[in-house]
């Protein structure tokens, strides 16, 4: 039997919860220096490559669709995809929109000390509404 799903405390502390899909919970990193989205599949596996094939495909499709949307929506030069999990063992998949004028460019965002910046409540509501419309994100 699986344990009830709960976000890892570090993800819960670092991120806003924007909604969910069948493939996982969608988080937004609280630091607004970058459009940093994180998909957290509700499962016991700690690595994407450990998921059964069908679930791995479904999660990967959702992750890629999310990343493509981030790139379009925020006019990014790149969307960095990462499945890392060295610090937070719970499976989570990063889609980090990157621009040549962002504070971490050209380095990776992971481990970089981003300048303080917060999403406003209005920005969070707009972003959530856009994700519901474009990618059928659920509450």
**Which chain residues interact with a copy of itself by CB under 8 A?**
47-49, 56-57, 60, 64, 67-68, 71, 78-87, 98, 105-108, 110-111
Nearer to a copy of itself, 103 or 124 (CB): 103
The end-to-end CA distance of the chain, in Å, is: 26
The least CB distance from residue 75 to a copy of itself, in Å, is 14
Nearer to a copy of itself, 22 or 111 (CB): 111
Nearer to a copy of itself, 89 or 123 (CB): 89
The least CB distance from residue 77 to a copy of itself, in Å, is 8
Q: For residue 81, how many other CB atoms are within 10 A of its CB?
A: 14
Residue 11 to residue 9: CA distance in whole angstroms: 5
**Pick from 92, 112, 114, 125: nearest CA to 32:** 114
Residue 59 to residue 65: CA distance in whole angstroms: 10
Give CA torsion, residues 124, 6, 115, 33, to 10 deg: -40
Nearer to a copy of itself, 68 or 134 (CB): 68
The least CB distance from residue 29 to a copy of itself, in Å, is 16
The least CB distance from residue 139 to a copy of itself, in Å, is 26
């Amino acid at each position: 039997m699986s344990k009830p799903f709960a976000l890892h405390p570090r993800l819960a502390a670092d991120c806003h919860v924007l909604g969910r899909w069948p493939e996982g919970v969608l988080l937004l990193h609280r630091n607004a220096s970058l459009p940093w989205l994180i998909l957290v599949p509700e499962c016991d596996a700690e690595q994407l490559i450990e998921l059964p094939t069908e679930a791995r495909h479904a999660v990967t499709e959702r992750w890629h669709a999310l990343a493509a949307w981030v790139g379009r929506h925020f006019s990014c030069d790149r969307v960095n995809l990462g499945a890392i999990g060295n610090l937070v063992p719970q499976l989570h998949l990063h889609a980090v929109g990157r621009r040549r004028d962002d504070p971490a460019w050209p380095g990776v965002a992971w481990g970089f000390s981003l300048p303080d910046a917060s999403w406003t409540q209005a920005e969070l509501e707009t972003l959530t509404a856009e994700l519901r419309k474009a990618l059928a994100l659920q509450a």
